[in-house]
Structure 1
Amino acid sequence: MTTLTIDLPEDVFPALRRAPNEFLQEMRIEAAAQWYDQQRVSQEKGAEIAGLSRAEFIDELARRRIQVVQVTFEEVMEEMHRAEIGEAR
């Protein structure tokens, strides 16, 4: 596992009313949720980044009103096309 060091002003933690370990966890969840919302990571990878189970990550996405299922119009059309081909056989 890679270790990342971030220098922050000492007054950040009291201002946010968070202990350093709570701040770190919040940052991981926030980053994972944002990257998932931007379709840069999967649910599985997002959960791993956030340090949560997949179910906990899905709950967190729902709490943040981020769509849990991300399917593009093209993916839906491809699936419909595959279904039509399957029915024609």
Structure 2
Amino acid sequence: MSLKMIINYPETLPDAVGKTREQFEEESKWAMAVKLYELKRLSSGMAAALVGVDRVSFILKLKDYEVSLIDLSEEELLSDLENA
């Protein structure tokens, strides 16, 4: 089962950001998925499903939003290196 979310926005908003309505809505969907992934609320697979692409395509798109695939603190990274 798939649910649908409706977001109201001003009719002039897509034009204000230089996009068509379709481009604006697609970009908004991507932005939401990427942000939820960045906040660790969604896995990359779940975020990919939200935008309707495969996981690899989602991961490759993260750079467009300046979001890292791996987000480890210095402490976590050093721990991983010690245990490698």
Query: TM-score, normalised on structure 1?
Result: 0.70
* Structure exhibiting the larger radius of gyration computed from Cα positions: 1
**Residue 13 of structure 1 corresponds to which residue in structure 2?**
14
Report the counterpart of residue 25 of structure 1 in structure 2: 26
Query: Which structure has the highest helix share of the two?
Result: 1
Gaps of 5+ in 1: 84-89
| Structure 1 ranges of 4+ moved more than 2 A | 62-65, 69-73
- Opposite residue 22 of structure 1, the aligned amino acid is Q
After superposition, give the CA deviation of every residue in 1:6-34 in whole Å (9 maximum; x if it has no partner).
22111112112222221111011101111
User: How many residues are matched?
Assistant: 77
Unaligned runs of 5+ in 2: none
Matched to 2:69, the amino acid is: V
Aligned identity (percent) is 22
Letter in 2 for 1:4: M
TM-score (norm: length of structure 2): 0.73
